[in-house]
Amino acid sequence: MEFESTFGTAAPLLGMVHLPPLPGAPRAPDDGREAMRAAVDRAASDARALDRGGVDGIVIENFGDAPFYPDEVPPHVVAGVTRAATAVAAETDLPLGINVLRNDAEAALSVAAAVDADFVRVNVHTGARVTDQGIVQGRAHETLRLRERLGVDVGVFADTDVKHSAPLTPEGYTAESFADTAERGLADAVIASGSGTGEAVDAGALEAVVAERERHGLETPVLVGSGVTPETVADLLAVADGAIVGTALKAGGETTAPVDADRVADLVATADEAR
């Protein structure tokens, strides 16, 4: 994919659609059809609010399904995400991304191909991380070959030092892993995040990722993946090439609350002054 032409800007703001628990998840309603209707309705409503607020793209993920499967999710999860993504695509023409938690890139890419989405987010694309699901390993070799088989122009946006995880080595390698993710893993964009959902990315870590990109002579875009607020968005976009925003766009600043179009518009307006 071509990053800037996809989003219509060199520094896109991507809003999150956090799905409620899908059928089969521990916190889903007992009535599976009710659970699916609730997820579809929320997804459509959040997509409309994000579109009205002025974001440049949307990412949808099965956030309510915790505890997450570490790698391959069962077919009913793929079906649920596909139905919700179809509802989002019907509400807006904004570029759409798919993330199937915790790390099912094959499912995300398959959903993206089915609903004509533009990119997927992969939490662990190369290397390995210790997570609450255990050790999660990247499968870039499988993901990129599946994309070729499907024949779709779907971007792979891959995390480095992904949130809710820790490196296998004590010192970690946030910046150095950029080259593995972008140069060897062929990611189309790299995402730098804070330690958890809604947590700000460390400024030094973000700058190190960008510096590592420059050292390797790469042009792969770097996105901020968590903790973006109206107060920080200008400074972050001065370093990064875009941002994925979730919690700050929700009513009351609560991650699981509905998207608030006014909060979206406020953050977009602040970002527009900086880009």
Nearest-angstrom CA–CA distance, 108 and 30? 26
Whole-number Cα distances in Å, 135 to 52, 102, 132, 138, 182? 39, 11, 8, 10, 21
Look at residue 8 and tell me if it is in a domain.
no
pTM of the model: 0.94
Share of the chain above pLDDT 70, in %: 96
Nearest-angstrom CA–CA distance, 113 and 164? 28
Q: What is the number of domains present in the chain?
A: 1
Look at residue 7 and tell me if it is in a domain.
no
Look at residue 184 and tell me if it is in a domain.
yes
Residue 136 near residue 123, CB atoms below 8 Å: yes
114-135 pLDDT, tens per residue?
999 999 999 999 988 888 888 9
Q: What is the pLDDT of residue 176?
A: 52
Cβ neighbours for 37, distance < 8 A, ≥ 6 positions apart: none
Q: What is the pLDDT of residue 252?
A: 96
Per the structure, the complete domain to which residue 110 belongs is given by 14-273
Q: What is the pLDDT of residue 170?
A: 59
142-185 pLDDT, tens per residue?
999 999 999 999 999 999 877 787 777 655 545 557 878 998 99
